[in-house]
Amino acid sequence: MDEILEILSNDARISPEEIAKMTKKPVAAVKQAIRKYEADGTIVQYKAILNPEMIDSACAHPPVRALIEVSIVPQKDVGFDRIAERIYSFDEVKSCHLVSGSYDLLLVVEGQNIQTVAEFVSSKLSSMENVRQTTTHFLLKKYKEDGRIFKQAVRQKRLNITY
């Protein structure tokens, strides 16, 4: 991976000027590379990673998430892609993977409460042509996502000065 991408994927707030200093590249070259990555879709977007527990504790009705396993009947010529697209186009679907094993698609679905998610599954998902079966697992607690641990990280306890 290009070093610029490595830096930005850890902290997107670091400026092109700072990246230039870190990588010993000209500022203009760094800016141009970032523009290229943004244009070609390598960098999709910049966003903050939020701790859901902190947000939920401040919120009267925190949203509910569920992992949903979906078994589908693949279609001629297009396999799983067309039916997957029909499914992931719903706003409620936050992520969608085609997986190996005893089912086909693994979704993360978000709703305002258990009823909304259940409603989505029964009226939108299960009723869809080619969807054979669904299994819904409501998520209870998030410990780690994309390599980030949500608990306060263990900090190294160093002295302030040593040889």
Partner 1 sequence: MYVSKLVEDLPPSGIRAFFDLVLGMKDVISLGVGEPDFVTPWNIREKSIYSLEQGYTSYTSNKGLAELRKDIVKFLGWRYGLTYDWDRQMLITVGVSEALDLAVRAILNPGEKVLVHEPCFVAYAPLVRLAGGEPLTVVTTAEDGFKVTPEKLDKAWKKGTKALILNYPCNPTGTSYTRSELLAIAKVAKKRDFLIISDEVYDELTYDFEHTPFATLPGMKERVIYMNGFSKAYAMTGFRLGWVAGPEDVIAAMTKIHQYTIMCAPIASQMAACEAIRHGAREVQTMKREYNRRRNFIVESLNELGFRCHVPQGAFYAFPQVTDRLRGQSSLDFAKDLLEKEKVALVPGNAFGATCSDHVRISYASGYDNLKEAVARIRHYLASRPA
Residues that bind partner 1 (CB under 8 A): 3, 6-7, 11, 14, 18, 21-24, 154-156, 158-163
- The distance of closest approach from Cβ of residue 31 to partner 1 in the complex, given in angstroms and rounded to an integer, is 18
- Bridge partners (DSSP) of residue 48 are none
CB-nearer residue toward partner 1: 4 or 87: 4
- The distance of closest approach from Cβ of residue 42 to partner 1 in the complex, given in angstroms and rounded to an integer, is 19
DSSP category for residue 89: T
- By three-state DSSP, how is residue 118 classified? helix
Q: What H or E segment, with its residue span, contains residue 4?
A: helix 3-10
CB-nearer residue toward partner 1: 31 or 86: 31
CB-nearer residue toward partner 1: 14 or 64: 14
| Sign of the torsion angle spanned by Cα atoms 21, 22, 23, 24 | positive
- Residues with Cβ < 8 Å from 74, sequence gap 6 or more? 80, 83, 104, 130
CB-nearer residue toward partner 1: 6 or 85: 6
- The distance of closest approach from Cβ of residue 5 to partner 1 in the complex, given in angstroms and rounded to an integer, is 12
